[in-house]
Amino acid sequence: MWKFWLCFGAVFLSCSGYTWPLPDQLSAAQQRELKELQQDVETEIEELCCQNELKRCCVEKKKSLAQRNMEEWEGLIDSLKELKSTPDEEEAIKWLEEYNEELRQRNVRNAEANWAQATNITDENAAKVVEVTLEVTKWSLKKMEEAKKFDTSGFSDDVKRQFKMITTSGSLSDEDKQRQLAEIGTELEKIYSTGTVCQADGTCLKLDPDLEGIIAKSRDYDRLTWAWLSWRDAVGPPMKDKYAQWVALLNEGAQENGFADKGVLWRGAYEMPDGKLEEMVDAVWEQVKPLYTQLHAYVRRKLSEKYGADKVSTTGHIPAHLFGNMWAQQWNNIYDIVVPFPDQPEIDVSDTMVEQGYDALRMFKTAEEFFKSIGLRPMPQTFWDKSMLTRPDDREVVCHGSAWDFYHLPGDTDVRIKMCTKVNQEDLYVIHHEMGHIEYFLTYEDQKTLYRGGANPGFHEAVGDTIALSVNTPGHLKKIGLLQNVGHNQDFEINELLKMALAKVAFLPFGLMIDKWRWRVFSGDITPDNYNTGWWNLRMKYQGIKPPVERTNKDFDPGAKYHIPSGTPYIRYFFSFIAQFQFHQALCKEAGHDGPLHKCDIYESKAAGTKLKNMLSMGESRPWPEAMKAITGQEKLDPSAILKYFEPLEKWLREQNKDEKLGWD
Ligand SMILES: *[C@@H]1O[C@H](CO)[C@@H](O)[C@H](O)[C@H]1NC(C)=O
Ligand SMILES: [Zn+2]
């Protein structure tokens, strides 16, 4: 800090070389003020030291002069602190430090309780989740009141940001209502996770793997209808009234805190003025819709050929149960029905994985290897010790895959994945997805607790998927021994791109409509009497699909999708499915990839890894456009990368569909 004050005579009158101490906990405005003072003091010292001494500077003299001015400088800082209510900001910073540490410790307990319940559903564990949730709510409310006492207007941006996060809340003040809300939440998730369907012969089926397996593999129209319908009938109706109560309570909490409804709070995670997020995703959807419409028309034709024109018309909506996926959200399981060039080498590696004796652990190690190859961190030992990688058979669990941060301090890391892994290519992708969350946790673990989050929720969802875009290239699958033959012709490429489109493009309208439904449920546009009709109106409009049998408002089909009962916002996935192609494109450029985007594999590129790491390490400390800029150089959600990726396929589909009636209205 202390540097000697040296003047070298008339020729060099510069007094640089001296570093003025600038306390960094001052606000930006105060820092500017001090800098101005610094200029003044420097000029003064310069005159004293150099000009009055007639260019013969005595080093000792300079030192003492500097020392004296230093004292003056510090005096100035002190008086400024007093004058400008700086004590408040210092106090605020201290308060925040304690807040962040206590929040961290509470997050640890919260995660522990939720983990216990998610990996072992019992009434006792559910009750603990409710208690911890109530404790958290109570504490946050208390802290919010404390936080509101600070006048943050003159504080630095970073301090302001933290206060904003703390004081943005939708918590109910009434303790009975808090409890009701927590209990309904746990109950809804339990109905979903323990839902079973029993057959005439007395055997009972679970969603994962039984019913999902039927939908994925059966090609019997009636069997598919049965599985589709039974799941919805099993879990939907018992949830419906509870869901309406849950929405009412969430809205009440939001309104108590000055928000129009809970949807406003959810959208707040994107730090955009209300209305702008929906505007943004709508604009992106308009740009990708032509590609989706081409895919839709092509798949509809193939399904019509497979099941008959009486079952699937070639002009209207497609029945929702024929896509190989319980929610018709991704269609890759019917690749065999729609494959453009069946004579080309196989690109699904599921069978090969089984033949080569893959198990869950080996699949996770395979994923970890990729992350390590670009310079990201290996999973800590506790990850392997504590994760739940397969479905246990001695208890009920929430099978829906998830990644967990236990908010430990660096050096004592505890991060875990919970999933019911099956040996197939789809789950290999899911593992990369979940491990992407873990890498994000690991990379921002030394941020303040409040900033241990994604730049926005969509960023968090996009990390693993970005990596999986490299992993799932035939080139990479060959490299790791899962594919023997890779075609090098256009037909093979069309197969490859179509398979990818079934997962990525097919998802887009689904990713968009889920929260369009919930935003309208929260705002009251869709009332409980119209939950199901409102749901299907959006499914029909955006996805161009319809229920295979007539549905009424007695049904509650939204409840059959995990994120509805679990209360997880969904627009993050739409964001992610666009952003991951932007990330992929940026990382491929960094890796020096040359050629079409869909062939890029960033394996072993430390340059790409560093670029990614730099963005991940920011956590939630800055608004997302800055994180977007750090990795892609642009600040927007931009569909041009996904469109570029699928350009050859879109061209091919247009040719195939030239005689089709596109769309479904
Ligand atoms: C599941 O939770 C119950 C408490 O409800 C506990 O007694 C039991 O040991 C737990 N089982 C496992 C395998 O963790
Ligand atoms: Zn995820």
434 is catalytic: yes
Is 584 labeled as ligand-binding?
no
Domain edges within the chain: 1-84, 91-257, 277-656
* Across 521-525, average pLDDT: 98
The yes-or-no verdict on residue 452 having pLDDT over 90 is: yes
CA angle 618, 624, 627 (to 5 degrees): 45
Q: Which atom in ligand 1 lies closest to the alpha carbon of residue 125?
A: 5
The yes-or-no verdict on residue 348 having pLDDT over 80 is: yes
CB of 125 closer than 6 A to ligand 1? yes
The yes-or-no verdict on residue 628 having pLDDT over 90 is: yes
Give the tens place of pLDDT for each residue, 127-147.
999 999 999 999 999 999 999
* Across 338-343, average pLDDT: 98
The yes-or-no verdict on residue 56 having pLDDT over 70 is: no
> How many Å from the N-terminal Cα to the C-terminal Cα in the chain?
72
Q: Residues for the chain: how many in total?
A: 665
CB of 395 closer than 6 A to ligand 1? yes
* Across 500-516, average pLDDT: 98
Q: Which atom in ligand 1 lies closest to the alpha carbon of residue 392?
A: 13
Is 432 labeled as ligand-binding?
no
111: alpha, beta or left? (left if phi > 0; alpha if psi -120 to 50)? alpha
Exposed e or buried b per residue across 390-403, where buried means at least 16 C-beta atoms within 10 angstroms of its C-beta: ebeeeebbbbbbbb
H or E element at residue 416: strand 415-418
Q: Locate 126 and state its tokens.
A: 């559910």
Pick the ligand that lies closest to the CA of residue 113: 1
The answer to whether residues 403 and 329 touch, using CB atoms and an 8 Å cutoff, is no
Q: Which of 1.20.1260.10, 1.10.3720.10, 1.10.1370.30, 3.30.420.340 is the CATH number of 277-656?
A: 1.10.1370.30
The yes-or-no verdict on residue 71 having pLDDT over 90 is: no
H or E element at residue 343: none
Is 572 labeled as ligand-binding?
yes
d(CA 574, CA 126): 31
Q: What is the mean pLDDT of the chain?
A: 91
Q: Which has the closest alpha carbon to 292: 263, 261, 329, 265? A: 329
604 is catalytic: no
Q: How far is the CA of 112 from the centre of ligand 1 (A)?
A: 13
Give the tens place of pLDDT for each residue, 96-138.
999 999 999 999 999 999 999 999 999 999 999 999 999 999 9
Q: Which atom in ligand 1 lies closest to the alpha carbon of residue 120?
A: 1
d(CA 616, CA 447): 11
Confidence of residue 79 (pLDDT cuts 50, 70, 90): low
